[in-house]
Structure 1
């Protein structure tokens, strides 16, 4: 069973902001990279189908599949971890989260479900989805 990560999407106020960042750092559809200071100890479980769930404005709204983890030392001699992510952004059912630092593990059974046209919500405009989340209606 895969294990996932949850991380705050700092600097993004919407899924569109995350899409713009993705398009800037990985414009040709190759995996994008998010660098963090800590290396996950449970890498094998994360690489077995895990995703990074992004918290945007205190709500998990989207995920990206983790395709690789690479530990490296930066130019200042600090160990870091590059989390390589599939460029596809998969919208999820909204799941509120309190602020935290770094990342947290997320068990598969606790992960929010993906949105789909059949389940409803995938085709909603982002501003409407945001408003529904903000008023607690979703």
Structure 2
């Protein structure tokens, strides 16, 4: 089982990577994490090879493998879930996604496929072209 999440304020996959490299976005062991209010009920399925798919500028563009879920208690005393991630970002085929709040489950069969590694270093297409190609099912 996978998760899908909007990466709010992120402009590109590279800017997501830069944010995750900041100390604020990491756990004590240096791994990136995303802290969320809700704990996934399907934890066992997620930890069995699941990834988080990031929606950037209205389309899924990459994913990261989920390594573990850590409990975090905020300054307000509320229990939260830290989704601890593998630092490697895998670019995916572009898939349009409307805005939503929080995270959602994403079945493996509905998840965008990874791009071949040979294409991972290519310059990204302009947003409007990428979106138009995704709308007609080319990307």
CA–CA distance in structure 2, aligned partners of residues 44 and 68 of structure 1: 10
Gaps of 5+ in 1: none
Q: Give yes or no for contact 2:59–2:131 (8 Å, CA) kept in 1.
A: no
- Equivalent residues in 2 for 1:1-138, closer than 5 Å: 3-25=1-23, 26=26, 30-117=30-117, 121-126=119-124, 128=125, 130-136=127-133, 138=139
CA deviations on 1:76-95 (whole Å, 9 max, x unpaired) are: 11121000000000000001
Distance 1:9 1:95, change over 3 A: same
TM-score (norm. length: structure 1): 0.86
CA–CA distance in structure 1, aligned partners of residues 84 and 123 of structure 2: 28
Shift of 1:72: 2.9
CA–CA distance in structure 1, aligned partners of residues 109 and 132 of structure 2: 26
CA–CA distance in structure 2, aligned partners of residues 129 and 111 of structure 1: 22
Gaps of 5+ in 2: none
Query: Which runs of at least 4 in structure 1 moved beyond 6 Å after TM superposition?
Result: none
TM-score (norm. length: structure 2): 0.86
Shift of 1:117: 4.5
Shift of 1:19: 1.3
CA deviations on 1:12-70 (whole Å, 9 max, x unpaired) are: 011111011122235xx942111001110111100000000000011000000000001
